[in-house]
Structure 1
Amino acid sequence: MTAIDPGATSAPKPLFSESYKTSVLGLLVLAYTFNFIDRTIISTIGQAIKVDLGLTDTQLGLLGGLAFALLYTTLGIPIARLAERRNRVNIISIAIVIWSGFTALCGMANSFLMLILFRLGVGVGEAGLSPPAHSLISDYYEPRRRATALSIYSFGIPLGTMFGAVAGGWIAQNLSWRAAFVLVGLPGILVAIALKLFVKEPPRGYSEQAPVVDTPVLEGEETVPPATIKPPSILAVAKRIFGRWSFFHMVAGITIASFASYGTGQYQAAYFIRMFGLDLATVGLIFGLVGGVAAGVGTLMGGFLTDWAGKRSGRWYALVPAIGLLVACPLYILVYLQNDWRWAAALLLLPGIFHYTYLGPTFGVIQNAVSLRMRATATALLFFVLNLIALGFGPPFCGWCIDMISQNLFAANNMGDFFTLCPGGIGAPGAGPVVDAACRAAIAEGSRQGIIWNLLIYAWAGVHYLLAAITLPKDMASALAASNED
């Protein structure tokens, strides 16, 4: 670094310009978008897979949930520990290549077992994105802007859901569900290459200590502390984020809300097909454009609103998600009480705006609560709890509810065993039109009731955020003091 003339009138240039940081954040959003395209596309094309392979809704839930979540959650922690010491950009780039490849392989599966194995592979790759990405963003953006930056990163969730639904639905309708996996999976490799070529590894703690230089960092220059520096233990990180009242309830809130979100989200598209007879392309447009826009607005609004209101009181980092979830719950239920799909689709614009306000604030609080070399691990621990419970068991639980309700409705009409006579939710070959009609009616109404029962879980999550607001300012001050001592 060259000397700075003390008589110069211009301030020394930051190591990274605002435009560069914005570009880096944009690439990370793109990576997270492909992450969610590949993760959630199965919810859009699941009905086609269910019919083709003769699956139950519980099996469909396992494909969208536990099969993916098992390795996604368990590998997140060791990858995060690696990210505390090693180059985070390299870790993210390799992870994208892995999950993109396995997503494409899902299109080659010809059995439930093969799909399970390939979905496990998708989970392996996707475990390597968010922990190092959260750590990178926290080094690029200072604490007062962190919830906003992380909400922008989380915008990849509705974007990925939107593009996955629209593209996946259209491809599955016009080609096949197998082609959908291949065509949405492989482009992710280009994102991995772009990240590797463009994104620099920032110094740890860059946003806290605001280092400046008057010359640019050379390509390939090492800006990371030596890998021999030992980060705090996993136990120390766990105590920090789970050991205080407000942090515990915020983790509980995001976990329970995500349980309902992953569970009902797995079957929303299938419900519109079963209840209203829509095709895959139409359903993809509904949940991609209508649901995706609403969720995107809510995700961004949650971060901007809480960073703004948080200047007045730190309680708003919990109150905004609480209010959002408690308002979203009845609005979602109203959607599934409609008998006209057009009204149901139009009403989807409302709940998503309130629902997704919890993402940015929660991630921001967790990142601000820990010290520099706890950040990737803190995200991994949060995601371990969140995704093992929510992603792992939310879809199978909702699918089980739909299966049980459908079975009871079918049996109430003295039709026999639903699972024997209705493989894939339609009448078995040779069963006749009466049985087929009864199968379709049972699975449609079973889907409606099963989803509504699961939607009530949003209110439970909102209560946890209300409880978090009680001590959040005090706990944040205590965590900041502890971080300064680390």
Structure 2
Amino acid sequence: MSEAPSQEEAQLASTEKPPLYTKPYTHYVLGILTVVYVFNFIDRQILAILAQSIKVDLGLSDTQIGALSGIAFGIFYAVLGIPIARLADKYSRVNIISICLGIWSLMTALSGLAGNFWQLLAARIGVGIGEAGGSPPSHSLIADYFPVTGRASALGIYALGIPIGILFGNFAGGWIDQYFGWRNAFMLVGIPGIVLAIILKLTIKEPPRGYSEGRVPDTKAIPFKEVVRTMWAFKSFRQIAFGAATQAFVGYGAIAWMPSFLMRAHGMTSGEVGTALGLIIGIAGGIGTLSGGFLADKLGSKNVRWYMWIPACGFLVAVPFSIGVFTIDSLYVILALYTIPALLSNLYTGPTFGMTQSLAP
């Protein structure tokens, strides 16, 4: 006897409609949104590679550096993500992304003018506020440009912005810091994002909501409590939320302090650290991000549980290698070991993003 489809599986079986836009334009949209996500992580990650220079120049403690990379950014990013996502359900997602991109890029550039901890804290809060409006409307746009069967792959490509952004943030930030100082590094990576915001606004079209799944959008404002109650009713959504939050807690914490660890414990320069971590996370992380999305779409077509089994297996296998990174003395062994968790810890992005968008009513 075959097992009755679960509520989640039934949701995934929604009727798909033919594409509304040409394939080249759809790919262009995905490309632009991916570049926006690249800048999201360049501007987010660059503080980590500059932290040691900022600490010395401004006379900051590790606690203050931790506040700049953690609390200042994380609280505003997490808390404002929900109301901005609500705005994206009602108003133009293209406008929201372009405005938020302009805000976080400007605040990144202004970080280079900070003369003390409080000024830099204010700038990083601004970056967190702006970046909170990047992913929710982007995910929603991609869900309307791509059908369910190819959505995890599309979101996996979009998620390449994470390793690519970390690559460029580390590489550019490290060498600019070494030769021109941390202030110029902030300014040089912040200004191009303002130009990109204008390009996005002028060239990306707002698609009908729910089109790729054949749904008629409900224009009524749904109470926030009802949204939470509806999504929380999905057991799989609760598990996805917990798993993704755990990965973010561990992964971003490690990335934030990895450059300082290599500089202090192993005597590397900011340029050397930027090159090493940029290449490791950019290449290995990129392979993991793409593989996770494509594997999930391939295996998930036979059993939807593969969307979660793939990242779960990746996390478990990565643990012993991650421990080795911080307990082994040899620098070359450390960098070699780090490629494995860099790859495996990025398997989750495409599957979790795709499953979440497919579960959302």
Aligned ranges 1:79-478 → 2 under 5 Å: 79-209=84-214, 229-371=219-361
* Deviation digits for residues 381-405 of structure 1 (CA, Å, limit 9, x no counterpart): xxxxxxxxxxxxxxxxxxxxxxxxx
The corresponding residue for 1:50 is: 55
Q: Following superposition, which runs of at least 4 residues in structure 1 exceed 6 angstroms of deviation?
A: none
Rounded to whole Å, the distance in 2 between the matches of 1:163 and 1:255 is 25
- Taking the TM superposition and a 5 Å limit, the aligned residue runs for 1:34-49 are 34-49=39-54
Structure 2 residue runs of 5 or longer lacking an equivalent are: 1-17
2-structure distance, mates of 1:230, 1:74:
24
For residues 145 and 274 of structure 1, the distance between their equivalents in structure 2, rounded to whole angstroms, comes to 44
Tell me the SS of whatever aligns to 1:128.
coil
Moved more, 182-191 or 81-90: 81-90
Residue 7 (structure 2) aligns with: none
User: What is aligned with 2:27?
Assistant: 22
Is the Cα contact below 8 Å between 1:241 and 1:366 reproduced in 2? no
**Normalization by structure 1: what TM-score?**
0.69
Determine which structure has more spread, i.e. the larger CA radius of gyration. Answer: 1
Residue 347 (structure 1) shift:
2.4
CA distance in 2, matches of 1:266, 1:120: 16
Kindly indicate whether the alpha-carbon contact (under 8 Å) linking 1:37 and 1:164 is maintained by their aligned counterparts in 2: yes
Q: Which amino acid aligns with 1:91?
A: I
Q: How far apart are 1:72 and its partner, in Å?
A: 2.0
Query: What is the CA–CA distance in structure 1 between the aligned matches of 2:102 and 2:70, rounded to whole Å?
Result: 21
Q: Distance in 2 between matches of 1:235 and 1:356?
A: 31
Aligned-partner residue type, residue 269 of structure 1: P
Which amino acid in structure 2 is aligned with residue 44 of structure 1? I
CA distance in 2, matches of 1:201, 1:133: 11
* Alignment-mate amino acid for residue 75 of structure 2: L
Aligned length: 345
User: CA RMSD of the aligned region, Å?
Assistant: 1.8
Deviations along 1:115-153, one digit per CA (max 9) or x if unpaired, are 111111111211111111111000011111111111111
1:63 pairs with one of 68, 74, 78: 68
Partner of 1:76: 81
Cα distance in 2 between the residues matched to 1:38 and 1:154: 16
**Percent of pairs identical after alignment?**
49
Which amino acid is the alignment partner of residue 240 of structure 2?
A: M
Distance 2:53 2:265 in 1: 15
Q: Is the 8 A contact 1:237 1:370 kept in 2?
A: no
Task: Please list the CA deviations of residues 180-203 of structure 1 after superposition, one character each: whole Å capped at 9, or x if unmatched.
Answer: 111111110121111112111111
2 CA distance for matches of 1:144 and 1:14?
A: 13
In 1, Cα distance between the equivalents of 2:230 and 2:50? 40
Specify the code of the residue in structure 2 equivalent to 1:242.
W
CA offset digits 1:68-116 (Å, max 9, x no partner) = 1232223222222221121111111111111100000101111111111
Query: Which range is displaced more, 72-81 or 29-38?
Result: 72-81
Q: What letter corresponds to residue 321 of structure 1 in structure 2? A: P
CA distance in 2, matches of 1:56, 1:305: 44
Task: Tell which deviates more after alignment, 320-329 or 346-355.
Answer: 346-355
Q: CA deviation at 1:340?
A: 2.2
One-letter identity of the residue aligned with 1:202: P
**Structure 2 counterpart SS, 1:203:** coil
User: Counterparts of 1:287 and 1:332 in 2: how far apart (Å)?
Assistant: 14
Residues 161-210 of structure 1: per-residue CA shift (max 9 Å, x gap): 11000000000000111111111111101211111121111111121129
CA distance 1:190–1:39, shift in 2 (3 Å): same
